[in-house]
Structure 1
Amino acid sequence: MAVKLKWPWLGIAIPTFLISFIGYGAHYFILSNFLSISKQLLFELSLSMIWVSYYLAIYTNAGRPLPNYRPSPLIWPNFCKKCQSYKPERSHHCKACNQCVLMMDHHCPWTMNCVGFRNYPHFLRFLFWVIVTTSILFCMQVKRICFIWQQRSLPGYLFEKSELIFLTILSPLDFFVLLTIAILFLRCLSNQIINGRSQIESWDMDRLESLCDSGKLIPKLIDNTWRIYPEARSSQHERDADKLLTQRGRARFDELVSFPYNFNPCTNAILYLGPIRLWLWPYGTPAGDGNSFPKNDISQYEVNSPLEDIILSLPWPPDGNKTKAVSNHNNSTIETYNEGGEQIVRSRNAQHGSDAIREKWYNDWGESLDDFGVDVDME
């Protein structure tokens, strides 16, 4: 579940305090008692890399759409009423930053900034250097604790009381930070590098799978296929669509939904972190403008392909995601969605259940779009 702070400035104050207290407290009261000067300098270098990457993650804008951006016919048109411009693919309007963010991953309370296309490498490097530094420190602390325990029969005045106090306080605190940041780092690697997705897109994939399990996804996919690719509506494809609708329980989710921006982990890493030689460089950034992204072969559209392949080529997310229920009247629902910058209103039969409205859906972590910082009113 996303952390929401009563006073946003605490999002910067708490990490700053922890980095300073753990890093400099451990160096002055513990490491300086037994480490060589060269090893102390290496520790300080690692600590400095945390500060540099943290500063860049805070002050680097996550990315804004290009002026006068116009969407391709092959993506869903998504007009932001607050910015008075179209949002590129994979972009969302952040309610905290008050801007549309390119390839928005989430709004991070610990940087008071969105994590998106432009600063994702800085954010990941920040997590990486925290893990490296806390791992080194924890190993040194365990080593020192073992040494003191072996010498426990010696007189107590041979060891500084301040060292014993800080070992007692900082060892569990350092391990806690290491564990929590490692979990977040692994989640980011799994989403962005392994699967090529932002956290919001992973959330959307879970939502789509939930829709598929409830039997509500396939009708939306077929409806969107005729809408996006009207030339593909042949008699054969219509018969195939009828089969999918009547046998929807047999259709596998991965046969109908594919994430178009996922390649292999190495390619994903280069796309979102930049060239390999720059992964640890503090100012390394990805190539491209963040307004459009390459798509894999599965997402390529061919009119004579089987219906399942055409469905796989739908723009992301394939259910369209622009429909939002705003009021109910008996058994009907009034819906609004954006099309070409115009507000379209229509009525349809009401759906029941949490997966009927995208903005109100929660994943297994208890997260909704709002928890990622997305301005759901602009979706």
Structure 2
Amino acid sequence: MELNQVAVPAVYALISFLGYPSQILLSYLDPGPLTKNELILSNTALVLIYITYTKSVFVDPGRIPKGWEKKDGEEPRKMNGNGEKKGGQSRKWCRKCDAPKPPRTHHCKECKRCIPKMDHHCPWTANCVSHTTFPHFLRFLFYATCGLSLLAYFLWIRISTLWANRNLPAYLGPSPWLVAHLFIATVANSITLFALGVLFIRNIWCLAVNTTTIEGWEIERHRTLVRRARHFGGWLDGPDGAKVRIEKQEFPYDIGIWKNIKQGMGTGNPLSWFNPFAPTPTLSTGLSFETNGFDDPSLSWPPPDPDRSYRRFPQSSSNGAEGFTYSEANLSSEETIAAFRERQAADAVRRRKPFLQRVETKLAQERRNPFQDELEYGSGDEEEYEGGGKSGEGSQSGEEGWRNSEGERLKDFGVDEEVEFYDEQEDDVPLGELLARKREAASAYQ
């Protein structure tokens, strides 16, 4: 049984355990049962937690409509009616969905589709935190943190009273079952409060600066590439010996705290931010986003990454095998086509050695150059490589196995890493789609 099949019932059970039995427990411990106002406050918080969590689970994270780039009706980086710079048509293409991707969209391996403004796929809601579900998810974190903090306060009063009366005879105190229940409730509440509190603070920060969890990973990745490129005159090696210029690029979607909050919560009304029945943001507002204009409008996000590039030229055989050997004579026509597509998909990605291995090899080859003696990799300015360190280990090899400072990879956020990491190139649109766009553009001028 997979985690996503039991996670949601387990969370509902945890909410119920910390909500209702705890109220019964508190009524048997000194200094006495909860007051009427405390009961009203506790049960109100409990109802709000149930509502917001249910919405986080069952609200559709969104899907990209077909022909969205035509309905949007905007050219890339064009000004809208309010004078705001918008990211209109995307130049990125999802090979899994066989469709263009709007800005800030990622392909989720769990939902099996592209999700607008995907933050991450949350296993505890079995749903994506996205443009449409983020406000509900944030409200759930807020009310859960408040409710757990309130319960922690009530438990602390009972624990303090119990400790103050520790010298009294045992028969005057609570039974062992009540003490065990108190201990279990305190531990469960403390761990849950800590985890959700940290997650709530992190999401508040993401809301304030208008980033998603995935985009935070991309920002750190870009900073890593900039630091690496600084050692090589601003250039890094791409596939097939190509050189890629790496320049510092600012995150384009941070447009100011107030606008960031309005965009993330779907409204500028502070009362709606706390309303558990607030409407879900419309999908149309998640297909294009205002930018801050700090960099050239022609630049896209994420910035160029040499390890996200496709192999441009076929590799010659080095194992002495004969070329053009047909070894699938026994396959049916359907199996032959399927085998060809598997080879085509596998060939689209070039497995590269980790950056550390590539640099060390290059330094070994250039050791005769006295100027290279000053370049010592591993001085603390570069990033570590996680994921094996040996070539030929599938998705664990090369820079697609890169981890951020917290040890996270794209796949840890629910992203289909095998597809997404290599779909961020702006020139991967199929030829048929390019020809169709060219015909549409030509007809528009007629």
Q: Given the two structures, how large is their TM-score scaled by the length of structure 1? A: 0.75
Q: Over residues 19-56 of structure 1, what are the superposed CA-to-partner deviations in whole Å (9 max), with x where a residue is unaligned?
A: 11122121121157421122112101101111111110
For 1:315, the equivalent position in structure 2 comes to: 300
For 1:110, the equivalent position in structure 2 comes to: 124
For 1:187, the equivalent position in structure 2 comes to: 202
For 2:287, the equivalent position in structure 1 comes to: 291
Distance 1:194 1:123 in 2: 15
Amino acid at match of 1:373: G
Q: Determine if contact 1:193/1:269 at 8 Å carries over to the other structure.
A: yes
Change (3 A) 1:140 1:347: closer
For 1:60, the equivalent position in structure 2 comes to: 59
Q: Over residues 197-256 of structure 1, what are the superposed CA-to-partner deviations in whole Å (9 max), with x where a residue is unaligned?
A: 101000000101111111179448xxxxxxxxxxxxxxxxxxxxxxxx7xx8xxxx7xx3
Q: Over residues 278-328 of structure 1, what are the superposed CA-to-partner deviations in whole Å (9 max), with x where a residue is unaligned?
A: 111113344652000111131464xxxxxxxxxxx6111121686245999
Change (3 A) 1:364 1:324: farther
User: What is the identity percentage for the equivalent residue pairs of Structure 1 and Structure 2?
Assistant: 30
Question: Are residues 1:205 and 2:219 paired?
Answer: yes
Change (3 A) 1:37 1:201: same
Distance 2:107 2:122 in 1: 14
Amino acid at match of 1:135: S
Q: Over residues 82-132 of structure 1, what are the superposed CA-to-partner deviations in whole Å (9 max), with x where a residue is unaligned?
A: 323211100011111111100000111001111100000111111111110
SS in structure 1 opposite 2:128?
A: strand
Question: Are residues 1:361 and 2:376 paired?
Answer: no
Q: Determine if contact 1:60/1:119 at 8 Å carries over to the other structure.
A: yes
For 1:271, the equivalent position in structure 2 comes to: 263
Alignment root-mean-square deviation, CA: 3.5
SS in structure 2 opposite 1:114?
A: strand
Amino acid at match of 1:315: S
Q: Determine if contact 1:212/1:218 at 8 Å carries over to the other structure.
A: yes
SS in structure 2 opposite 1:8?
A: helix
Distance 2:203 2:317 in 1: 42
For 1:122, the equivalent position in structure 2 comes to: 136
Q: Determine if contact 1:66/1:291 at 8 Å carries over to the other structure.
A: no
SS in structure 2 opposite 1:34?
A: coil
Distance 2:314 2:401 in 1: 15
Listed as ranges, the gaps of 5+ residues in structure 2 are 78-88, 237-244, 319-344, 357-384, 386-396, 421-446
For 1:337, the equivalent position in structure 2 comes to: none
Of 8, 13, 22 in structure 2, the residue corresponding to residue 12 of structure 1 is 8
Change (3 A) 1:212 1:148: same
Amino acid at match of 1:317: P
Q: Given the two structures, how large is their TM-score scaled by the length of structure 2? A: 0.64
Q: Over residues 141-173 of structure 1, what are the superposed CA-to-partner deviations in whole Å (9 max), with x where a residue is unaligned?
A: 111111223334545445442433322221122
Distance 1:141 1:351 in 2: 54
Q: Determine if contact 2:354/2:398 at 8 Å carries over to the other structure.
A: no
Question: Are residues 1:138 and 2:152 paired?
Answer: yes
Q: Over residues 310-359 of structure 1, what are the superposed CA-to-partner deviations in whole Å (9 max), with x where a residue is unaligned?
A: xxx61111216862459994899xxxxxxxxxx9x9999x7751789663
Q: How far off its partner does 1:266 sit? A: 2.6
Amino acid at match of 1:318: P
Distance 1:357 1:262 in 2: 31
Distance 1:198 1:103 in 2: 8
Amino acid at match of 2:299: L
Question: Are residues 1:90 and 2:84 paired?
Answer: no
For 2:192, the equivalent position in structure 1 comes to: 177
Amino acid at match of 2:65: L
Q: Determine if contact 1:324/1:358 at 8 Å carries over to the other structure.
A: no
Change (3 A) 1:15 1:89: same
SS in structure 1 opposite 2:107?
A: strand
Structure 1 residues 343-354: aligned runs within 5 Å: 353=355
Give the stretch that moved more between structures: 154-163 or 209-218.
Answer: 154-163
Q: Determine if contact 1:63/1:290 at 8 Å carries over to the other structure.
A: no
Q: Determine if contact 1:30/1:166 at 8 Å carries over to the other structure.
A: no
Amino acid at match of 1:277: L
Which has more radius of gyration?
2
Give the stretch that moved more between structures: 138-147 or 8-17.
Answer: 8-17
For 2:433, the equivalent position in structure 1 comes to: none
Distance 2:102 2:182 in 1: 50
For 1:26, the equivalent position in structure 2 comes to: 22
Amino acid at match of 2:416: D
Give the stretch that moved more between structures: 73-82 or 360-369.
Answer: 73-82
Distance 1:202 1:90 in 2: 12
SS in structure 1 opposite 2:68?
A: coil
Amino acid at match of 2:409: S
Distance 1:358 1:289 in 2: 33
Give the stretch that moved more between structures: 74-83 or 121-130.
Answer: 74-83
Change (3 A) 1:164 1:365: same
Distance 2:114 2:153 in 1: 43
Distance 2:310 2:407 in 1: 20
SS in structure 2 opposite 1:24?
A: helix
For 1:234, the equivalent position in structure 2 comes to: none
Q: Determine if contact 2:64/2:115 at 8 Å carries over to the other structure.
A: yes
Change (3 A) 1:51 1:31: farther
